[in-house]
Copies of this chain bind each other. A is one copy, B any other.
Amino acid sequence: MQKEGVKELVIHEVGLRDGLQIEARTVPTDQKVSWAEGMIAAGVDIIQLGSFVHPEKVPQMADTDRLFAHFLGTGRKREGVMFSGLVLNEKGLERGFHCGVQMFCMGVSASETHSRKNTGMTTAEAADRIIAMASEVLRAGRRLQVCVQSAFGCGYEGAVPEDRVVGLAERFLAAGIRNLSLADTAGHADPEQVERLFAKLHALGNGFDCACHMHNTYGMGLANCCAAIRAGVRYFESSVAGLGGCPFTKVAGGNICTEDLVHYLQRTGRRRDIDLGRLIETARSLSAFFGREMPGMVYKSGPIPMQSSNS
């Protein structure tokens, strides 16, 4: 029985990875620990501590192993939360095993251009490699989520044929992967597309979970999450305060904001167990650290007062 399997919708916080990796100001490990503790106390289900990438390539991720050692060192576990890590290649996978990563995340881009720019490989080659890595994770009995990146459109190529996305999902399912994520890397998704594409995934069979990773680049992020819920998606990746995007351009393409998503889920009765106040505190701490207003709305407005709940 999966620990979080009892929850209908699972919140997977990825701000410490997808949010921070584009920030120029290096965040000290202690600060990351403090933010993670805030989100653990709030009751977030899964926290992605970082990615196993070469520290020279993404200095912000240089302390990923240390973060795992902090939270999971000497075989400790934390009740009620799981720690995930993103792996990009075999070396990262090895580091992840060594760190005791509880849930491995990895992905392949459905866009040939994006795939080549990110990995130097075609989509088909990248899929071969990721399936081989995923199989190692499955053999080791670890939790696994495999993602189709640029599933709803690509910043380089534009539209991405849905058949390419479905084709990758089929390969992943045939390899025994049971948690498939679709990432809207460029923020191009619209709600109708989200419902349509996840319906195609669900039509491939039973016995697997779907996840989504949405960005709010064009303001459609939360609407896309609502569509994903209607389509039966169970795992939602989001970033506290809506961290992400690029602070040096005016393109505010951050991840879907965790506390805004949780506020919506609380309001509609789907997740009342997460402490929104603790998430808001964490978002405010992030905003103070970076010295700028973040994209999230609820950390600014505060939640709708309790007397106005529809319950």
Contact = CB atoms under 8 A, between A and B. Distances in A.
Interface of A: 153-154, 157-159, 186-188, 190-193, 216-220, 222-223, 225-227, 250-253, 257, 260, 263-264, 267-268, 293, 296-298, 300-310
Which among A153, A257, A263 has the greatest number of chain B C-beta atoms within 10 A? A153
A186 B305 CA distance: 11
B308 A188 contact: yes
A190 B219 CA distance: 16
A218 B307 contact: no
A219 B296 contact: yes
15 contacts: A154-B308, A186-B308, A188-B308, A191-B268, A218-B263, A218-B297, A218-B298, A219-B222, A219-B257, A219-B264, A223-B226, A250-B300, A252-B297, A252-B300, A253-B301
Contacts of A227: 226
Contacts of A225: 223
Contacts of A268: 190-192
Binding site of A, secondary structure by majority: helix, strand, loop or mixed?
Answer: loop
Contacts of A159: 307-310
Which among A153, A223, A251, A307 has the greatest number of chain B C-beta atoms within 10 A? A223
Contacts of A217: 297, 301
Contact of A220 (B190, B218, B252, B264): B264
B218 A153 contact: no
Contacts of A303: 218
A296 B217 CA distance: 10
Contacts of A252: 297, 300-301
Contacts of A193: 310
Nearest to A251: B301
A220 B263 CA distance: 10
A192 B265 CA distance: 11
A112 to B, nearest CB: 14
Nearest to A256: B219
Contact of A223 (B222, B257, B298, B307): B222
Contacts of A306: 158
Contacts of A310: 159, 190, 193
Nearest to A305: B158
Contacts of A297: 216-219, 252
Which among A187, A217, A222, A251 has the greatest number of chain B C-beta atoms within 10 A? A222
